Chains A and B, each alone.
Chain A
Amino acid sequence: MSLDALDRATMIDVQHVDFFYGTRQALADVSAEITEHRITALIGPSGCGKSTFLRCLNRMNDTIPGARLQGQVLLDGQSIYTPHTDVVSLRRRVGMVFQRPNPFPQSVFDNVAFGPRVVGTDRNIDLSQVVEASLKAVDLWDEVKDNLRQDALRLSLGQQQRLCIARVLAVKPQVILMDEPCSALDPISTLKIEELMRMLEREYTIVIVTHNMQQAARVSDYTGFFWLDAQRSGVLVEFDDTAAIFTRPQDARTEDYITGRFG
């Protein structure tokens, strides 16, 4: 591990995780440490378990019938897979941004206010202040401030995705999971999201799944490379500083993948 890792705490510690959809094993013995206030990128070909891994971190896989996990996932040193774990409060701490922008068919304001209003516990919160701060944090405020009542679905896809990030920020999570957040967006919107991630890194821990290796190289501090093993289960082949992964990969498969020899 790099020197940088020494003075930064581990936010999420994943230890020997096996994950199953019914009888099919989707992840085999995956271990990784997600460092706080850093951006961790997960790369690899389609179907190798990157998204499954990501959804293990906020237990979104719980919504899939037959899904099962073995191993340990620690958030701030606490296991999130105990029978007593409050999944609802876990997800407030670990927010998620999805592949396709999925704003609610409500106004811009109501989208951002959803978290504090529905999920929040603080009854005396100043909603308009939270909405403004969240929209400013994703650099969307100037574009929508004159018409916060407009239907969120009228925004462009790029704006919608930033709105979805703002919606997550309004709940004040510690970690933000992003599942290919730019795959539905044009290059300019993609660039905006990447700049945004760099800004958010100061206050949040970010884990991003991406198909785009350049994106991983551009924005992330750490990179994990997923691959399928002989049993067609996802394994984490290599996990290191992004610079190390892209300049001197230790595993032949990583090198082949990032140099474009397959995938």
Chain B
Amino acid sequence: MGKNKPAASRADRAVEALLRVAGLSTIGMVVLIFVFLLQQGLPVFFRVPLRDFLGTRWYPTEGYYGALPLILGSLLVTVVAVVVAVPLGICTAVFVRELAPGWVRELLKPAIEVLAGIPSVVLGFLGMTVIAPWVRTTLGAPTGLTALTGAVILAYMALPTIISVAEDALDAVPKSLRDASLAMGATRWQTIWKVTVPAARSGIVTAIMLGMGRAIGETMAVMMVTGNAARMPLTADSLFRPVRTITATIAAEMGEVANGSTHYQALFALGILLFLVTFLINLTAASAIFAKRRQGGLR
């Protein structure tokens, strides 16, 4: 026994050190990635002034590096996706948590998780073969590969996140609040919309932010269904025209640029922008969670 003791504590220390390294290296990776992005991307601003970088023409082979159409393209697709996904996601979460009978809930929850696991390429197939023709024939767009098609696919990709986080938030609302409302003569409907959902609102905001973060960073499906034309989506019919997002641009062009060229650096600059935006979105979502934890319990 006496012999084992120091050995065991040495093993303890070794495991502890290993875990610490594993934990810290995650943070280290994030920092390194960001530093790498900055190092590769920032020099573009010595060659392309910021004003030109925010210009309206993205035509790298001719020396035009105006990223505004791409930024607005990402914005348009993401915002429309969120507008589609949020009401759908919240209503589904309310249905799953508050209204569905037990066996339906047991069926729905794994189904939603499966939806989250579908590879984005597969959703891209669905978008190209089902949604795109529908957009073209039913809505009369010149091509089916439009911002709307991308937004619908993105909405479906963001849905599982929104549903499961919102459902957790609803689940964390104490039963006593529902009881209080029902005991006052509120209907089940009134209890849901006036008590339960408001009590879960910060969790629901988190759900929306996380869904949005998922949408804005998505690449593959978007590249397959949005048509990838770098045009300024400023006309009223832009939703029914092709757009090109930041992510699709990076994925499509990165393989063809010369290492260290202006084009290469411009793509990295787009990467920095994307990184910052998703970081901000996730930070907002996390701060909502932390604020609620301090008050005792995530709701």
> Interface of A with B (CB < 8 Å)?
58, 60, 63, 88-92, 95-96, 98, 100, 102-106, 114-115, 118-119, 153, 164, 167-168, 171
Contact = CB atoms under 8 A, between A and B. Distances in A.
A98 B185 contact: no
B299 A115 contact: no
Contacts of B184: 91-92, 95-96, 114-115, 119, 167-168, 171
Contact of B176 (A90, A95, A100): A100
B182 A91 contact: yes
B180 A104 contact: yes
Q: Is the interface of A mostly helix, strand, loop or mixed?
A: helix
Contacts of B174: 102
Interface stretch (B7-15, B117-125, B191-199): B191-199
A255 to B, nearest CB: 35
A106 B179 CA distance: 16
A58 B182 CA distance: 10
A95 B186 CA distance: 11
B187 interface: yes
B190 A60 contact: no
Interface in B245-299: 295, 299
B185 A102 contact: no
Nearest to A177: B183
Contacts of A105: 177, 198-199, 299
B176 A102 contact: yes
B88 to A, nearest CB: 26
Contacts of A103: 180
Interface in B192-215: 194-195, 198-199
B195 A98 contact: no
B177 A102 contact: yes
Contacts of B181: 104, 114, 118
A263 B177 CA distance: 31
B169 to A, nearest CB: 12
Contact of A119 (B176, B190, B299): B190
B176 A60 contact: no
Given A102-B174, A114-B194, A118-B190, A171 B179 contact: no
A114 B182 CA distance: 12
A115 B195 CA distance: 12
Given A98-B176, A100-B176, A102-B176, A58 B183 contact: yes
21 contacts: A60-B182, A63-B179, A89-B185, A91-B183, A91-B184, A92-B185, A95-B183, A96-B183, A102-B174, A103-B180, A104-B177, A104-B180, A104-B198, A105-B299, A114-B186, A114-B195, A115-B184, A118-B181, A119-B185, A168-B184, A171-B185
Nearest to A96: B183
Given A91-B183, A104-B198, A118-B190, 12 more contacts: A60-B182, A92-B184, A96-B183, A102-B180, A104-B180, A104-B199, A105-B199, A118-B181, A119-B190, A153-B295, A167-B184, A168-B184
A105 B184 CA distance: 16
Contact of A118 (B176, B186, B295, B299): B186
Contacts of A88: 185-187
A103 B190 CA distance: 16
Closest CB pairs A-B (n = 3) = A92-B185, A91-B185, A102-B176
B195 to A, nearest CB: 6
A141 to B, nearest CB: 20
Contacts of B186: 88, 114, 118-119
B179 A98 contact: yes
Contacts of B179: 60, 63, 98, 102
A106 B198 contact: yes
B114 to A, nearest CB: 28
Contacts of B185: 88-92, 115, 119, 171
B213 to A, nearest CB: 26
A164 B299 CA distance: 21
B292 to A, nearest CB: 10
A22 to B, nearest CB: 15
A91 B194 CA distance: 17
A151 to B, nearest CB: 9
Interface in B219-250: none
A60 to B, nearest CB: 6
Contacts of B176: 98, 100, 102
